[in-house]
């Protein structure tokens, strides 16, 4: 779905105010029950990701040279409000570190979701660049792992299914509970429902603070 920049910004701002748990429940109601990513994908820098997916794929490969031109070209295409989503088979290898992250941030990227490894975490944290990844490692990718393409469908490890397919323009949300992918076609409905669930939770917390029992709250507001 083609969206204007202002609409993309508004949606991203609204997603920043809801939890992944409520989005997951909303997706369940929409019949999208396997959008959660594997629990190994956790915050290594920052606490939250919310942005439009910009996908990057790679593979393990031995090669000569001092860099990966395809990686630089891929990263140069990222835009404002986007989260780079990295997929590949590079066990134990770093897909990117501080300098590439800074280059992405210059173009408006708001973080990275990496089904693999990253390094330079001290510096990523100091720069405030949010990264959710599967592992950390000091081992660079040059000569070991290379980018094979960008802005195509990629597969990441799933929470309730072996894999989750991420397309360019899907929405990525990650917080303390984990990471989830909202297909572009479901973004509007999932967001509206997640906001409704969030408002209900607020009312329940207020009622509990005023002395209502949990059962009274559930009877009044329903289960969330």
Taking the domains of the chain in order of start, what are their residue ranges?
Answer: 5-184
**Residue of 78, 79, 56 whose CA lies nearest to 68:** 56
Summarised one tens digit per residue, pLDDT across range 160-217 is: 999 999 999 999 999 999 999 999 999 999 999 999 999 988 777 777 777 878 787 6
> What pLDDT, on the 0 to 100 scale, is given for residue 213?
80
Summarised one tens digit per residue, pLDDT across range 96-120 is: 999 999 999 999 999 999 999 999 9
> Are residues 109 and 53 in contact, defined by beta-carbon separation less than 8 angstroms?
no
Strand, coil or helix: 150: strand
Within a 10 A sphere around the Cβ of 58, how many other Cβ atoms? 26
**Tokens matching residue 193:** 């429902």
Dist. CA 79–CA 106, nearest whole Å: 9
Strand segments, DSSP code E, in 37-142 are 42-45, 49-60, 82-87, 94-96, 111-118, 131-136
CATH code of the domain made up of 5-184: 3.50.30.40
Within a 10 A sphere around the Cβ of 44, how many other Cβ atoms? 20
> Are residues 173 and 15 in contact, defined by beta-carbon separation less than 8 angstroms?
yes
């Amino acid at each position: 779905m083609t969206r204007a920049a202002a609409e993309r910004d508004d949606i991203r701002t609204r997603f920043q105010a809801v939890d992944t748990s409520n989005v997951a429940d909303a997706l369940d109601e929409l019949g999208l029950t396997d959008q959660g990513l594997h629990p190994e994908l956790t915050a290594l820098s920052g606490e939250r990701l919310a942005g439009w997916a910009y996908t990057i794929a790679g593979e393990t490969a031995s090669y000569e040279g001092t860099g990966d031109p395809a990686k630089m070209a891929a990263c140069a295409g990222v835009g404002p409000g986007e989260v780079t989503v990295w997929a590949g088979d590079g066990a134990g290898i770093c897909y990117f570190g501080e300098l590439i992250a800074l280059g992405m941030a210059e173009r408006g990227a708001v973080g990275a979701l990496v089904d693999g490894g990253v390094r330079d975490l001290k510096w990523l944290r100091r720069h405030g660049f949010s990264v959710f990844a599967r592992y950390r490692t000091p081992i660079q990718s040059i000569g070991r792992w290379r980018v094979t393409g960008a802005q195509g469908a990629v597969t990441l490890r799933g929470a309730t299914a072996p894999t989750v397919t991420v397309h360019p323009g899907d929405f990525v949300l990650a917080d303390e509970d984990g990471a989830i992918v909202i297909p572009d076609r479901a973004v509007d409905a999932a967001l509206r429902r997640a906001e409704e669930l969030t408002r209900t939770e607020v009312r329940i917390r207020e009622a509990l603070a005023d002395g209502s029992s949990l059962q009274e709250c559930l009877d009044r507001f329903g289960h969330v």
